[in-house]
Structure 1
Amino acid sequence: MQGLTLQSLKKHKALIPLYVCTALGCGGAVFYLVRLATRSPEVTWSRRNNPEPWEEYRNKQHKFYSPIRDYSKEESQAPKY
């Protein structure tokens, strides 16, 4: 197929932005999946060290803005399993 080798890509210069955008999209998707796997509290990589990672966030204060309610004095709404 034309456009898959470097020599044919030199003849069809209009395909270069297509390959660049596709590569950036794939790179962004991989970065997002790695970020989700390493930063999300729902993901655990070691069941022995941290069997319930979501429990770490039960007593942490989340930043909500409400001019009516003060969320800092309320208990967590997370269910207890």
Structure 2
Amino acid sequence: MIKTIIQHAKKHPGLIPQFFFASLGMMGATLYLIRLAKGPHVTLRDKKNNPEPWNHLDPTYQYKLVAINTDYKHLKKEGPDF
């Protein structure tokens, strides 16, 4: 594939900056995703030594939240009855 890109770039030298910046963008996106995946977050892998890992975090820690289902129209009540 790289050989094809090099041959194409020799025929059309004006595309060399485009190949460079596209590669740079893909590399930056990959590094960003790797940094996101390695970030500090709560995991439940060690259930014997640390069954509740969220209790060991600082109160000012900003959690990463994921909303799986944001369609709450199927709920009949807006909140709990106290």
TM-score of the pair, normalised by structure 2: 0.49
TM-score of the pair, normalised by structure 1: 0.50
